[in-house]
Amino acid sequence: MYSFVLKRSDLREQDQIVTLYTLEKGKVDALARGVKKILSKNSAYLLPVFLIDAEVLSGKEVNHLTKAVPVFVYKNILEDLSKMSLLQTVFKWVNILTKYEREPKIFLLIKSWLEFLDATDKVETALAYGFLGNILTHLGFAPELDNCIFCQNKNNLVAFYPAGGGVVCKNCFLLKRQADNKIYPLRAIDLQAMSLLFASNWQKILSHNTEIANRLVFLYGQYHSERKLNKIKLF
């Protein structure tokens, strides 16, 4: 089945557990035996830059990865350290945020993001934050960005409250900010950028992002994640 390799963890001397994101079954863990042997025919393609066709046999206790055939290599990502570091961070986020459930939309989101990253000449962290926003939306965690989460006011939206799940109007911000310092001010341009980060195509995200919007999407993702999300390090 078509898969991306999210993670590999050492198990025994020659074996690894490989975490795949598959089109058919969503996230799957599989035992890859002998994968660390130098000439292992599977290991060469168990990298995040490959779309692979993986053969996974369900066992009594564990699944076994018996074959990994390359379908496509994202060559421009492989040859660019900045692109690689965005990809590695994003795959860690996918692994943290997703459960072991079938979710073809997530597979397609990963695929479209990799295709864009492979083709673009502009490598910016906004691309990773845009992926984060979009995956949160697909997982059912889209924030409220149109109405104040306290009073439903549509106007004067001046702040974002990650723990409250959305934007806050000026009146409510003045009332609440002393009680909770985790309500963050934002400008109209940041709000616009945020709505793109949560639901838009990659090109628009690249053209209209702001640092504040990027940071708020990260804080929001962090709030909805049970584990700490890795920070982006761009080379």
Residues near Zn ion (CB under 5 A):
148, 150-151, 153, 169, 172
Nearer to Zn ion, 119 or 174 (CB): 174
Query: What single letter denotes the amino acid at residue 67?
Result: K
Helix (H) or strand (E) holding 167: strand 166-169
Contact 56, 28 (CB under 8 A): yes
CB of 148 to Zn ion, least distance (A): 3
Which residue number, 110 or 148, has a Cβ lying nearer to Zn ion?
A: 148
> At its nearest, how many Å lie between Zn ion and the CB of residue 222?
24
Q: Which two tokens stand for residue 123?
A: 């490598």
Of the candidates 209, 75, 194, the one whose C-alpha atom is nearest the C-alpha of residue 142 is 194
Shortest distance in whole angstroms from residue 171 CB to Zn ion = 5
Torsion angle of alpha carbons 108, 113, 115, 116, nearest 10°? 140
Report, in Å, the least distance between residue 151 CB and Zn ion.
3
Helix, strand, or coil here: 147?
coil
Per-position b or e across 143-153, b if 16+ CB within 10 A of its CB: bebeebbbeeb
